[in-house]
Amino acid sequence: MKKLSLATVFAAVSGFVVLWVAQWALDADTDYRYFAAFWGLFFASAGLIDGITHETTRAVAASRESGRAGDASPWRFAAALAAGIFLAFLAGGAVFMPGVVPSAPAPATALLIFGLASYVFQAALSGVLSGARLWDRYAGLVALDSGVRLVLALVAWWAGWGLPAFLVITVVGAVSWVLFLRRDLRAAVDVDKRAFARRVGSAMLASGASAALITGFPTAANAAFPLSEGAAVSAIINAVILTRAPVLVPLQRFQSALVVRFVEQRDRVYAALAGPIAAVLGVGAVGFAAAWLIGPWILRAAFKPEMFVPGVVLGALTFASAFMGALMVTGVAVLAQEKHGWYVAGWIVASVVAFALMFALPFGVVATVVIALFAGPLAGSAVHAVGLSRTAARAV
């Protein structure tokens, strides 16, 4: 598990470094904006696919403990889903990709299809490795996936390669699973084909709902604002990425502990929520001040001039990330109450509200994004609160 923890940290850091390198290597007005939109689309879609990992992990682990072996196969399911992704994105790419990467929609569509179809098998392998408790192999897979992107991004920057290279870099890590595939990984699961497909579908819906808002923001921002505001959009995308990390990355590490807390305090869930919510908002308040005071200096020292954002905006975005953190906390609380429908509904509402405001508000890029990133998580948390209130009402 120690190796997996280190691999997870390495993956988070390397992803940030790739984006940092890209803003130096690519033009801020167009290419970086398109790259960030493509990156967000790929990883938001990968977040949806991660539902395969979650259910496969559970099914393989349950089969090992109980001895039950259903007729479902994660690999056959992955093959069917990969075929579906190929057909869906082949048809849909012609419609939406010109708005994501206008300069190269056809190559971008082909790369996205290749990357996601490959990532399906990587997600299945990750679930098998986790369910079988082969943590060292899983850590190696995570590290290789991220390390390939990091090394190639540095090479691309040094060699002066442009946007096409960074599109390839986005998806190339998804083929890492090929090097870890072995004959001893035909793990059994504890359910039949129909139950496995149904549970994977539910898990994908849950993971995709949160990934849309957390990872898909650059894609939505790219689509919401005209091309004439290219550098401003690139700058705000970069600022959101920077200001989310201090709050969301540590919180993701503590989600398992929060699950335990909420399970143990099912009968007093609101009291159990108070501490984590206060802590997240407190970190956001401290981050607001730090980002306001120190953020502009960091941007001037480490980023292109086009990526500069005023301190008050950085502070506001940091505090908005605390609202996103609060949404994650309320979501964990709902899951601990086994209210998966309310969990998904909260994230969907948060995404719909945030993205709708980005397209509808008559303000500039900065004001629109800040308002949307406060309002979306707040609306989603309200949905989770309703779900928790119904659970509490039944318990009385």
Under 8 Å between Cβ of 285 and 319? yes
Please identify, among 224, 251, 283, the residue that sits at the C-terminal boundary of a domain.
Answer: 224
Name the pTM for this structure.
0.89
Claim to verify: residue 85 and residue 172 sit in the same structural domain: yes
Q: Would you say 328 and 255 are in contact if contact means Cβ atoms under 8 Å apart? A: yes
Cβ proximity of 41 and 181 under 8 Å = no
Backbone phi and psi for residue 73, each to the nearest 5 degrees, phi listed first: -130, 120
Determine the Cα–Cα distance for residues 243 and 45; give it in Å rounded to an integer.
22
| Rounded Cα gap, residues 345 and 390, in angstroms | 14
Does residue 339 share a domain with residue 198? no
Domain identity same for 52 and 153: yes
Do 236 and 195 share a domain, yes or no? no
CB 318 within 8 A of CB 247: yes
Q: Does 219 share its domain with 283?
A: no
Query: Does 209 share its domain with 78?
Result: yes
Last residue of one domain, picked from the residues 207, 224, 241: 224
List the pLDDT tens digit at each of the 396 positions of the chain: 678 778 888 888 898 899 999 999 999 888 999 999 999 999 999 999 998 988 888 888 888 888 788 888 899 999 999 999 999 998 888 889 998 999 999 999 999 999 999 999 999 999 899 888 888 898 999 999 999 999 999 999 999 999 999 999 999 999 999 988 776 567 788 888 899 999 899 889 888 888 888 889 899 998 888 876 778 899 999 999 889 877 887 776 666 567 777 877 777 878 888 889 999 999 999 999 999 999 999 999 999 999 999 999 999 999 999 999 999 999 888 888 878 889 999 999 999 999 999 999 989 899 999 999 999 999 999 999 999 887 655 554
- Please check whether residues 133 and 216 belong to one and the same domain: yes
Q: Domain check: are 252 and 214 in the same one? A: no
Closest CA to 11 of 193, 150, 131, 159: 150
Same domain? For 349 and 234 the reply is yes
Are both 178 and 254 inside the same structural domain? no
Closest CA to 133 of 76, 64, 186, 188: 64
Q: Are 4 and 139 in contact (CB under 8 A)?
A: yes
Q: How many domains does the chain have?
A: 2
- Whether residue 219 sits in one domain with residue 244: no
Burial of 101 (0-12, 13-18, 19+ CB in 10 A): buried
**Per-position b or e across 302-338, b if 16+ CB within 10 A of its CB:** ebbebbbbebebbbbbbbbbbbbbbbbbbbbbbbbbe
Which of 159, 192, 224 is the C-terminal boundary of a domain? 224
Residue 396 has a pLDDT of: 47
137 & 235 share domain: no
At 394 the pLDDT is: 55
Using CA of residue 380, residue 382, residue 383, residue 388, what is the dihedral sign? positive
213, 354 Cβ separation under 8 angstroms:
yes
| Displacement of CA 341 from its chain's centroid (Å) | 20
Helix (H, G, I), strand (E, B) or coil at 71: coil
Place of tokens 């290419």: 31
- Owning domain of residue 272: 227-396
The torsion region of residue 2 among left (phi > 0), alpha (psi -120 to 50) and beta comes to alpha
